Structure 1
């Protein structure tokens, strides 16, 4: 029923300080403007008004305390305004604005109408001028409209803050997903092969084949260095470092143990880091899958640049997808990660048998 004070009022300490300052100024003005002989009555009513004002400052999120504060401040302001005390009418104004800003429109309208009726009755009973009655009612109507406008502004700000928080949460989740893909792509390709080489070296040492074990350890060392280089390359791309995609692909092809043909069609254009990384990972994952399921098969990498999109197609000549030594490594998330990358960039990723082998095709719009 009431609006959250955190959105409607701003920081708690600032709201409290501002409220105390305004309350102090209005209280001092009401005392100085009190008619002669009515200072004790004014002081007694002001005590009630101050307690009501403190009620909504101390408990801004409590519906009961808010209503109690509105009643004390509004009624006290009406009594003092009828003494007569022009400055005290400000308490009625504050109560009307506060109700319109914090309560639902139907409830705030009832509060404002109630204060207007009480003010009108008090003016008629004390014989106040009609112009003061009319002016007071007009001011209360303006206060209601102003409070409703402020409430709408507060609601828009609240919605904007919630939207910003949701956007930040979505961006954090997207970053986590990206980091998860990077961890898979770097570790699955490096540590999987590294573990196989170390296990092979251990088995060779058990059988007294030291020379072959030394070769396996040497391969493991190269794989570890390649993994570090790959990590640095991934970090560089995430930071926005731009390296031509064709160069990255040729580096991958040079490090692959089987023949890899790289072809580039069209004029190569600079790509944003996310697109370059997605296509690079496509080639890397495809080569890893070929190593797993069709070891030794020749591979062709086709890069195609056009005015609207960039496409990479990786095709191997493996027949029947036989199981290789690394088939049990990895978690099976490679192709899923490629599809996620492509879809996040508005592209597509397809994979399946082609010409007796296997092909992976990724297209991303420019």
Structure 2
């Protein structure tokens, strides 16, 4: 009887071993974001596909560091179904290298554990604005190009050498905009092909570069391709009606262009500091057209420096915070410009000072 019982146990164990388990469900278990701007949010989607013949249930998703949050879009994954574990890394709360473990625990049909890794190097000398190449909605059958700017403020010889797209549907390009003092600025553009199938797509572009200690970085790409709109042939508009429509489009476009002043990051948290401690944070202030910073209003405990009265599309403003006395700090830095309608921008700042 004992031998028979052991034989059954052995068969069951071998049966479980032969089946795919949670470790096999993940298409990848590690994501290296590489060099990223300090203050940015890095997001990655870990894909899960249940390739077994049993329903698996996630009991919990946790992280090893408060700088990262993680969640699953569903707890129950039936055979053949897919799920996603989303990890969001907040680089505002750390500088330099950080590695975080995402703990994914399963409870059924048997207890199981999968550890996922996310890591990044948070740098305050790297600026990307906007931080994502976001195409928004694109109608199938049409092409679209989006742009961003990348700045490095610590090496005048830094040079981007190549750009590699994670998708054949995305064509990346880059060009040098300027070298001033220690700052180097590149414009990055990406064009989506008109034959990309309908759906939501996430990809990235990887760059290799020379100079400094920044040999590579990446840019996330988000696209939602909608089905082609059908053409209404029930009637033709008159020339006068078409002219009115064009005038409406032009008017709307002009209104949008007026609201162009933005900052990245839009708010600054210096975290916890001891009395007498200092910390710096760089901010990108950008507009579609060249503009000047005319005035930066003083804030107690914050030294703010920038290129006043220089006309350019991107300004780098440095905030140096000094912890003067214990307590919570909540204030705003007001930056005034000559950038058309929206002439000023406010940057909320927070800090906790301890003895």
TM range (shorter): under 0.3
Larger Rg: 1
Judging by fraction of residues, say which structure has more helix. 1
**TM-score normalized with structure 1 length:** 0.24
Higher RCO (CA < 8 A, seq sep 6+)? 2
**TM-score normalized with structure 2 length:** 0.24
Judging by fraction of residues, say which structure has more strand. 2
